[in-house]
Structure 1
């Protein structure tokens, strides 16, 4: 996929943050972007709401990644209009913060339903069309937290670890059909994710973990506010589309690449200590 040739992109979670920045970046370069949002139904009129001189556009369509029928309908809508889907970018996600003890099973299930099962739903629904085409690109937005688990962000980290395992297996399974699967792993990014993070109901002042949790969360939010721009993540995603043979994963930002490189070199006890110093 070295050139875009007005490729058709289905991008989940496109109304804000990394998703919005990626949709606009790709549109400006001639991609036909179908962005999704749970709130898109009100503006869905069959016409692009943004266009570019390069021939690209963004059209928003409704999608709730928690719903099997909604995922199926979103894919069908794009296929009926375009006849193909060249790229799926699974970006929709959310985060729950709190200690493991303070996080209920219901809250953990919600975390996995959006981040993991939402991605799985979209992958399963685009694969038949991509196999028929004999080509396709599946890009899953994971996280550095999917390779280094963060205290008090355990459910978020676990959902991203699960995505890492999913794509590693998927990559082998779909390669014979001309489909490439890969991961993009942002670290702290300046988006609305910080303000939209969900706090576990039991993580209030009565929790025995409260003081350490608040300190960890404050550090995390500060890092996010000083993090990379969503446009930088968009550039990396575009690069993964353009490459004929993209690597299985790509971290965003030199600092995070260095951290992941050091994780492979340093003894596990030292990595554990460093993470604890930062976030525990």
Structure 2
């Protein structure tokens, strides 16, 4: 065998092994995902699909509301500021939302972002939010695709020094608030075969979080029970775990970035510059998985590594 023939044969073998390796990797990913793409049918979550984010008053809620609206969903974002008067107030979150809305008026896109007064500890505002959502749904529709529970409180402090009123406030908002919300919106969720997204516990993030972590593990327990109770209705319950992110950051109030004497800038997507943003691009991608896949897992870590990419998230044009 001459040198040229050997070289050609070697290249052919390399190409053959490369194809075999790619095929094997593809099959492994398919097997891991149950043998079929686990993505919703085209157009199911698409432009205008209604989603409620229970609180945009905090960093995680505002970022999720803006992200989903930019993805093409019809997002209803709860704001406590001004709830007593029935308005959405002039909080930093409200200003960011209004800037996004104003930008979309000049640059139309499928997504919609509607702010509404909402406090998950108040039955009257939960009832009012349901009425507002129904009023904004297209004619003939009476369902909501997802409820993302971002309402939350976090207080850090040694157990023997912490004010017990802080415990009560965390349990009332973090745990009972989810139950109130689930009860109020289960009808709309049932009509759309929708899903509830809750925020669970994270890794240990230092001392002083006993009461907070108790409330988060209670959320995980409640989510598991809700999953069993709501499954016959076609409602799915998914818990996301924001691993490694300090709860004080997750539930901190956003602040507008501004320089004295200068206007606050707005980026190309219409988002007024604010801080903090707490979820990475990978975390937002995993959130998309939890919201758009036909058969989501019971829980996701927002920092988990996805070695295979067994399905594509529905692209909303």
1:4 to 45, 48, 65: 45
| Structure whose CA Rg is larger | 2
- Residue in 2 aligned with 1:55? 110
Distance 2:249 2:52 in 1: 21
Q: CA deviation at 1:88?
A: 0.3
Q: CA deviation at 1:20?
A: 1.5
> Does the aligned pair in 1 maintain the 2:78–2:115 contact within 8 Å?
yes
2:218 to 143, 162, 177: 162
Which residues in structure 2 correspond to 1:188-207 (within 5 Å)? 188-189=244-245, 193=249, 196=252
Q: CA deviation at 1:228?
A: 6.0
Q: CA deviation at 1:118?
A: 1.3
User: TM-score normalized by structure 1?
Assistant: 0.70
> Does the aligned pair in 1 maintain the 2:205–2:246 contact within 8 Å?
no
1:135 aligns with 2:193: yes
- Residue in 2 aligned with 1:173? 229
User: TM-score normalized by structure 2?
Assistant: 0.63
- Residue in 1 aligned with 2:74? 32
Superposed structure 1 runs of 4+ greater than 6 Å apart = none
Higher helix share: 1
1:182 aligns with 2:238: yes
Distance 1:192 1:101 in 2: 20
1:68 aligns with 2:112: no
Where do 5+ consecutive residues of structure 1 fail to align? 198-224, 258-280
> Does the aligned pair in 1 maintain the 2:51–2:73 contact within 8 Å?
yes
- Equivalent pairs, count: 224
Distance 1:231 1:70 in 2: 33
Distance 1:109 1:189 in 2: 23
> Does the aligned pair in 2 maintain the 1:149–1:158 contact within 8 Å?
no
Secondary structure of 1:96 counterpart: coil
Distance 1:196 1:35 in 2: 16
> Does the aligned pair in 2 maintain the 1:13–1:36 contact within 8 Å?
yes
1:186-221 Cα offsets, whole Å, 9 max, x none, are: 023389727949xxxxxxxxxxxxxxxxxxxxxxxx
Which residues in structure 2 correspond to 1:105-116 (within 5 Å)? 105-116=164-175
Q: CA deviation at 1:130?
A: 2.2
CA RMSD of aligned residues (A): 3.1
Distance 1:66 1:181 in 2: 20
- Residue in 1 aligned with 2:209? 153
